[in-house]
Structure 1
Amino acid sequence: MSLFAEFHVPSADFALFETLDRLPDLVVEIDRVAAADELLTPYFWVSAVEIDEFEAVAEGDPSIEDLRRLDDFESASLYRATWTENVDTMVYASTQAGATILEAKGQHGVWDIRIRFDDRDPLEAFQKYAQRFDISFDLVKLYETEHPRTGSQYGLTEKQHEALNTAWELGYFEEPREATLAEVAAELDITRQSLSQRLRRGHHALVANTIRVTPLAAEKA
């Protein structure tokens, strides 16, 4: 039975503290984190601010280096960078406990982080590790489920999975469409912009974790 914990972590104890402090409207959502050469390489989405302004501020932020913009979409841009200060400790606190960071969203100087634990033992190990290294966090929600439907095996967050599944069930992907973006958003009780972002990022995750990693089957004669 998996445990899901949601934490509030001050940006000063995680990432992009100076950038989030200087750009109060900025929203940063971590897409995934890859480990390479013992460095933590995050992929994250930036929205709600001018991209040029974000890049100018982020270039001087001591918590990241090697910032690189990978793609631009209507309402967000995808970046890759290398974490430096503070982030290693938080991420390694979860990996040492055998946990998985599912979502991380930074806004208004605070990161909302959602972590999955196999059971209570790794949760307790995470808390002890965090206390040992003086990581500030507030546990705001803890719940369990025996059969989570997150689509995480394809790199999807729970919200992306829900958005894609609901859009499919309502016929949004049919030709002609049986439901509009606004109708799907109303069903999920979110804005059209939020739904558009979840669908786009969900598609990105599906391609990255299926087509990009699976060789094409040979055509049959």
Structure 2
Amino acid sequence: MAVIVDLTLPADSFELGQILRIEGTTEITVETMVPLGGRPTPFIKIQNGTREEFERTVRNHPSVDGLQLVNSHDGELLYSLDWQSSDFSLLQTVLDLEGVLLSATGTADTWSLELRFPTHETLSKFQEYYLEANIPVSIKHIYNPTKPDAGPWFGVTPVQRETLAYAVESGYYSLPRATSTEELAERFDISDQAVTERLRRGISTLVANTLLVDPEDE
């Protein structure tokens, strides 16, 4: 059964953190990882960064063959990165184990990754790799997606997840209730009925993909 792991590691211990060096409050997100020519080619989005300094730093890295600006909108820059991945790098090891990078976000100090492996055995091999390589990985969560097609958040859409998370954090489900439906609707700039429906659909999907799974499917 597939297994998903959320982890963090220092930026200087991760190849993209070494290449995509940033300062201050700048944040980088790997939008997607496309295999081109037998190697992973990331598309990256950067926010609150200094464009010229960032581009110069990345292009001067010895493993980088090219950095191309794909799109620019409202202060966000989207790049494609052409780089030579080492056979023993963390990302290459993930790909060799048939793993998938679901998400990656980096700051000047830390990167957060979400990885999916086909089995617990391949995850164990990945853990053996980073321990032997002395990479200080911190595991946050390990879980099994109950349905292979449900996605990393059990089928819940990004807006449903954001709304459900905010509702829980703001005390919507607390007793006594700390926030109202009207306040949730105002927070997401939608109607009371729309926010109620969003929560209902999100909870229904979450239950269907977790509690209502046939044991034979597992």
Which TM-score band applies after superposition, normalised by the shorter structure?
Answer: 0.5 to 0.7
Q: How does 1:47-66 map to 2 (within 5 A)?
A: 47-66=47-66
Mapped to 2, the partners of 1:161 and 1:87 lie a distance apart of 35
State the partner residue of 1:24: 24
Partner secondary structure for residue 49 of structure 1 = coil
1:162 paired to 2:168 = no
Alpha-carbon shift at residue 98 of structure 1 (Å):
2.1
Aligned-residue CA RMSD (Å): 3.3
Change (3 A) 1:165 1:107: closer
Change (3 A) 1:165 1:96: same
Alpha-carbon shift at residue 77 of structure 1 (Å):
1.3
Change (3 A) 1:159 1:112: farther
Q: How does 1:130-149 map to 2 (within 5 A)?
A: 130-147=130-147, 149=150
Percent identical: 16
Is the Cα–Cα contact under 8 Å of residues 16 and 64 in structure 1 kept in the other structure? no
Is the Cα–Cα contact under 8 Å of residues 69 and 77 in structure 1 kept in the other structure? yes
Alpha-carbon shift at residue 10 of structure 1 (Å):
1.8
State the partner residue of 1:203: none
Change (3 A) 1:33 1:158: farther
1:102 paired to 2:102 = yes
Q: How does 1:63-102 map to 2 (within 5 A)?
A: 63-84=63-84, 89-102=89-102
Mapped to 1, the partners of 2:186 and 2:52 lie a distance apart of 33
Alpha-carbon shift at residue 143 of structure 1 (Å):
1.9
Is the Cα–Cα contact under 8 Å of residues 62 and 85 in structure 1 kept in the other structure? no
1:123 paired to 2:123 = yes
Mapped to 2, the partners of 1:24 and 1:166 lie a distance apart of 26
1:183 paired to 2:179 = no
Mapped to 1, the partners of 2:77 and 2:46 lie a distance apart of 5
Change (3 A) 1:73 1:45: same
Is the Cα–Cα contact under 8 Å of residues 16 and 58 in structure 1 kept in the other structure? no
1:41 paired to 2:41 = yes
Is the Cα–Cα contact under 8 Å of residues 17 and 63 in structure 1 kept in the other structure? no
State the partner residue of 1:208: none
Letter in 2 for 1:94: V
Mapped to 2, the partners of 1:86 and 1:13 lie a distance apart of 14
Is the Cα–Cα contact under 8 Å of residues 65 and 84 in structure 1 kept in the other structure? yes
Mapped to 2, the partners of 1:52 and 1:159 lie a distance apart of 39
Change (3 A) 1:107 1:160: farther
Alpha-carbon shift at residue 160 of structure 1 (Å):
9.7
Deviations 1:124-183 (A, max 9, x none): 111123334444322122122302633x8xxxx98994228989xxxxxxxxxxx88942
Larger radius of gyration: 2
Gap runs ≥5 in structure 1: 168-178, 188-221
Moved over 4 A (4+): 85-88, 157-160, 164-167
State the partner residue of 1:194: none
Gap runs ≥5 in structure 2: 164-184, 196-218
Is the Cα–Cα contact under 8 Å of residues 19 and 61 in structure 2 kept in the other structure? yes
Mapped to 1, the partners of 2:32 and 2:121 lie a distance apart of 25
Partner secondary structure for residue 20 of structure 1 = coil
So what's the TM-score if we normalise by structure 1? Answer: 0.62
Change (3 A) 1:160 1:81: farther
